[in-house]
């Protein structure tokens, strides 16, 4: 029978802490992944991360050290099953079984659909959708064995909305939302929670082309469009995502499962500015 009369005095702010937990954050030497891993470390977790590029990986290790975080960096392509299996083995050997997985690594190709090759479409879906499946599959047996686990997928505004030039990205991020719900459905009974964060428009290298100053010194039209479309009237920063990441990685969210938490400054709630 459910704990209908559970005692609220048993709740402690410590349930937001992650002391002793091992977290693997993919694609996290900079950008959103770096901020999320930093937040998890500040809450007490031991951090492992991976990237494709060895130099960026090394820079990442140094960047964590500058924050006082002893993060382990690995070079691995999240779309390659053998590399992911090796990555998970290495993390388990170096830090212990993985309690928290953040599927953050992602790419975008902004190409109008009629100009996009099937190869480019597949490449985006491979990193943004197939890889979260591959990495989750590699960590789930360990989580089942331990009797708990947290998987956080990084979705997007494009899990809900479309726009010109991002057909592959929107298809992948929409699929990732449903993979989130399915992992919740299939593994909830093992005390595994799979949720997602849906960031709004966040200033990182991925979105830098959309914020470039124009040759005449004016702001990029897309930059102006996003500020007008966002009730907060600004781009988000990776820091805006840190609190939600800690919550979803912690015991404080143990009955939250299969959800996408949109951290978007209000974009999805807003119809847009009425004409003057």
**Could you say whether residue 234 binds ligand NAP (CB under 6 A)?**
no
Rounded CA separation 127/101 (Å): 16
Helices (H) and strands (E) in the chain, counts: 8, 7
The tokens for 15 are: 């349930």
**Which residues 99-128 are close enough to bind ligand GCO by CB under 6 A?**
108, 110
Rounded CA separation 104/48 (Å): 13
Min. distance of Cβ 151 from ligand GCO in angstroms? 19
**Could you say whether residue 200 binds ligand GCO (CB under 6 A)?**
yes
* Binds ligand NAP by CB under 6 A, chosen from 22, 25, 27, 37: 27
CA 67 to centroid of chain Cα atoms: 20
- Scanning 1-9, 15-23, 52-60, 177-185 for contacts with ligand NAP by CB under 6 A, the matching segment is 52-60
For residue 51, the partner it binds in ligand NAP, ligand GCO, none, with Cβ less than 5 to 8 A by kind, is: ligand NAP
Using only C-alpha atoms, the chain has a radius of gyration, in whole angstroms, of 19
For residue 166, the partner it binds in ligand GCO, ligand NAP, none, with Cβ less than 5 to 8 A by kind, is: ligand GCO
Tell me how long the chain is.
Answer: 276
Rounded CA separation 66/63 (Å): 5
- Scanning 96-104, 131-139, 153-161, 248-256 for contacts with ligand GCO by CB under 6 A, the matching segment is 153-161
For residue 110, the partner it binds in ligand GCO, ligand NAP, none, with Cβ less than 5 to 8 A by kind, is: ligand GCO
**Could you say whether residue 260 binds ligand GCO (CB under 6 A)?**
no
Among candidates 49, 53, 45, 52, which has minimal Cα distance to 61? 49
**Could you say whether residue 104 binds ligand NAP (CB under 6 A)?**
yes
The tokens for 266 are: 């209000």
**Could you say whether residue 95 binds ligand NAP (CB under 6 A)?**
no
Q: Is residue 132 a contact partner of residue 179, using CB atoms and an 8 Å limit? A: yes
Sheet holding 22-26, edge to edge: 72-75, 46-51, 22-26, 100-103, 149-154, 192-199, 260-263
Residue 74 catalytic? no
- Scanning 72-80, 116-124, 178-186, 196-204 for contacts with ligand GCO by CB under 6 A, the matching segment is 196-204
Phi, psi (5° rounding) for residue 175?
A: -65, -35
The DSSP code sequence of 150-177 is: EEEEE--GGGT---TT-HHHHHHHHHHH
Write out the residues near ligand NAP by the rule CB under 6 A.
Answer: 26-27, 29, 31-33, 50-53, 56, 77-79, 104-107, 127, 154, 156, 199, 201-202, 204-207
Residues that bind ligand GCO (CB under 6 A): 108, 110, 156-158, 163, 166, 169, 199-201, 206-207
Cite the active site residues: 169
């Amino acid at each position: 029978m459910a704990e209908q009369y559970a005692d609220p005095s048993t709740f402690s702010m410590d349930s937001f802490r992650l002391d002793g937990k091992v977290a693997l954050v993919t694609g996290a030497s900079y950008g959103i992944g770096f901020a999320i891993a930093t937040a998890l470390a500040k809450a007490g977790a031991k951090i492992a991360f991976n990237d494709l590029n060895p130099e960026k990986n090394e820079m990442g290790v140094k960047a964590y050290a500058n924050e006082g975080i002893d993060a382990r960096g690995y070079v691995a392509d999240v779309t390659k099953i053998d590399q992911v299996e090796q990555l998970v083995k290495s993390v388990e050997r170096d830090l212990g079984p993985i309690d928290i997985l953040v599927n953050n690594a992602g790419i975008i190709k902004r190409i109008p659909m009629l100009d996009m090759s099937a190869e480019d479409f597949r490449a985006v879906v491979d990193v943004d959708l197939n890889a979260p499946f591959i990495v989750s599959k590699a960590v789930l047996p360990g989580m089942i064995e331990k009797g708990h686990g947290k998987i956080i997928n990084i979705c997007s505004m494009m899990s809900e909305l479309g726009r010109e030039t991002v057909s592959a990205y929107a298809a992948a991020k929409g699929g990732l939302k449903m993979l989130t719900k399915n992992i919740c459905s299939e593994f909830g009974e093992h005390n595994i929670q799979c949720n997602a964060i849906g960031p709004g428009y966040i200033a990182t290298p991925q979105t830098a082309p959309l914020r470039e100053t124009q040759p005449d010194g004016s702001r990029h039209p897309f930059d102006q469009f996003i500020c007008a479309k966002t009730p907060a009237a600004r781009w988000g920063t990776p820091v805006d995502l840190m609190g939600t990441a800690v919550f979803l990685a912690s015991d404080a969210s143990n009955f939250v499962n299969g959800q996408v938490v949109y951290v978007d400054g209000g974009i999805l709630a807003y119809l847009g500015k009425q004409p003057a």
